Amino acid sequence: MTRSTPGRPWWRGGVCYQVYVRSFADSNGDGTGDLPGVTARLPHLASLGVDAVWLTPFYPSPMVDGGYDIVDHRDVDPLFGSLADLDALVAEAHRLGLRVVCDLVPNHTSDRHPWFRAALAAPPSSAARRRYVFHPVDKDHPDRPPNDWRSAFGGSAWRRVPSPDGGPDEWYLHLFSPEQPDLNWDDPQVPAEYADIVRWWLDRGVDGLRIDMAHALFKHPDLVDAGAGQHTEFRRNHLMPFFDQAPLHTLYRQWRAMVDAMPGERALIGEVCLFDADRQARYVRPDELHQAFTFELLECDWSAPALRDTIGRTLEAYRRVGALPAWVLNSHDAVRTLTRYGGGERGLRRARAAALLMLALPGAAYVYQGEELGLPQVDLPDEALRDPLWERSGRTLRGRDGSRVPIPWTVDDGTYGFSPDGADPPWLPQPDGWGALSVQRQTADPESTLALYRSAIRLRRALSDGAADELTWWDTGSDVLAFRRGDGFGCAVNVGDRAAPLTGVDRVLLASAPVPPACRSLLLPPDAAVWFVPA
């Protein structure tokens, strides 16, 4: 049975584990992870102590963008199993006390979606075309797209298509690959369809939906130019005419009312990618989304002033609307922390310290599969790359496959427990020696990163029950970032490259690296974090 604390829904302070289904566990030996594979491995998540699991898209899809190009929003791709497999997964998760969140992709569909096929078969200005963002070709400049919008995967965000009746060509918008046409949220059929999809999944028993590109959907009505920095300078996202448009808030208010009327603690979780803390917080006002991913930590440098400023500003913006952040350090779209922080031993030390920092902060936290194993980004050979970014950037950007490599469960060779014996090779190759980082190996080692995550998530639950959502900074005047949760436990992180003294410590509760015993003060090693009882 899933846990429920009166007045404190799971989505306010819980830990959610992100499963990238393709790369988690392969039950049938075809080299791709699937839903029965996830079900079989749920005990790993239960032993980690997380509250919820988010499954990335498993819907019928040509898999141009890893399943974020959906053909049918109410079914399961045979590659991943069946609806019955999903039901079994949800039932088993609930039995283990885990909630299940599925992905909802409302900004675009696959170009094979029946709606888009109908649009291409219909003439300009037809009702079928109005469900997407079509635009007439300028007769004087037939090769000039309607504006300067860029696709996140490279090139113009517009593709020209012929009219089936021999009439003039039209452009259609795709903020991602051309195989992912953007929907027109100003057409009433689109919100009506998605309201139905949301209800359909929640009625089926899932506990929440993670809304892909939740800050997109509506586009500026005049399709004005976006200028420089599109999809690269994320801090300017809120200024882009294809993001953060006012009607989103009306939409999310409608969805919130619908979802809150359902029994249980259901949640709408927005992939809101705005780095203006106040603009971001607007999405989690009390009558809008339950959570919005807070990517601030993921984008922040390993520096005490930068981290203090980022965390402080974010908490304050959320506090003003009565919400808490949902912190993220890793995802299937980002370079893994260990590599981001410099790789090797130092990268690992920092990744472990960052985990204790994130898990000590007020709010919810997301853990991406393999993060609890301290996996590095994998450097894959060119021929293995599958991310559309690789080809569409003219092979200049390697893309996100390096954080999507199937994870190691066992020490043995072969697929390290990802697939059964005799299976096809995994869809992305696993590096040699991957088994040294496996769940099996790390379970046997009390100093492992897995052991650290297990301890931290369990302790966090016990500590958070008593600690307030307020955070008070301690002025250490050094490279040590330190704070206290209400009048509860403290957390200190040394982001400098020298050991630093920390005073006012009664007892260390958990440390990311060996620390000498504390007697009111302790010497915190570089790139290390501790949780402690203040003196």
The number of C-alpha atoms within 13 Å of 187 and in the hemisphere containing its C-beta is 19
Total residues contacting ligand NOJ by CB under 6 A comes to 9
What residues from 351 to 390 belong to the interface with ligand NOJ (CB under 6 A)? none
Minimum CB distance to ligand NOJ smaller for 105 or for 267? 105
Looking at 426-513, list the stretches that DSSP marks H as alpha helix, in order from N- to C-terminal side. Answer: 439-443, 449-466
Residue 111 found at the interface with ligand NOJ (CB under 6 A) = no
- CA–CA separation, 46 and 320 (whole Å): 34
Instruction: Identify which of residues 198 and 459 has a Cβ nearer to ligand NOJ in the complex.
Output: 198
Q: How many other CB atoms sit within 10 Å of the CB of residue 260?
A: 13
| Residue where the block lists tokens 């690959």 | 177
Tokens of 401: 């496959």
Q: What tokens were used for 297?
A: 């930590």
Taking CB under 6 A as the criterion, the residue among 212, 244, 296, 401 binding ligand NOJ is 212
User: Binding to ligand NOJ by residue 213, rule CB under 6 A?
Assistant: yes
Q: How far is the CB of 97 from ligand NOJ (least distance, A)?
A: 27
Q: How far is the CB of 507 from ligand NOJ (least distance, A)?
A: 41
**The dihedral sign for the CA sequence 200, 203, 205, 206:** positive
Cα–Cα separations (whole angstroms), residue 37 to 31, 79, 332: 11, 12, 18
Shortest CB 228 distance to ligand NOJ, Å: 21
Half-sphere exposure of 76 (CA within 13 A, CB side): 21
Write the interaction track for ligand NOJ spanning residues 57-76; mark x where CB under 6 A is met and - where it is not: --------x--x--------
235 vs 217: CA distance, rounded Å? 19
Q: Considering the complex, what minimum distance in angstroms separates the CB of residue 217 from ligand NOJ?
A: 12
One of 72, 186, 333, 391 touching ligand NOJ (CB under 6 A):
333
412 is an active site residue: no
Q: Please, where are the H alpha helices in 369-426? A: 388-392
Options 271, 288, 296, 401, the catalytic residue: 271
Least distance from C-beta 102 to ligand NOJ, angstroms? 14
In the bound state with ligand NOJ, the residue whose beta carbon lies nearer, of 69 and 527, is 69
In this complex, which beta carbon is closest to ligand NOJ, that of residue 333 or of residue 470?
333
The three-state secondary structure class of 77 is coil
Is 302 a residue that touches ligand NOJ (CB under 6 A)?
no
Helix, strand, or coil here: 510? strand
Instruction: Single out the catalytic residue among 65, 212, 371, 527.
Output: 212
CA 479, CA 3: separation in Å to the nearest integer? 39
Is the Cα dihedral 511, 513, 518, 522 positive or negative?
A: negative
Report residue 208 as tokens: 């929440």
CB of 120 to ligand NOJ, least distance (A): 21
304 backbone dihedrals φ, ψ, rounded to 5°:
-60, -50
Task: Compare residues 386 and 485 and give the one whose CB is closer to ligand NOJ.
Answer: 386
Find all residues with CB under 8 Å of 192, minimum gap 6, and list them: none
- Between 218 and 532, whose beta carbon lies closer to ligand NOJ? 218
193 labelled catalytic? no
Q: Which residue is nearest to ligand NOJ (CB)?
A: 68
Q: Which of residues 138-177 bind ligand NOJ (CB under 6 A)?
A: 176
- Active-site positions? 212, 271
Interface residues toward ligand NOJ, by CB under 6 A: 65, 68, 105, 176, 212-213, 271, 332-333
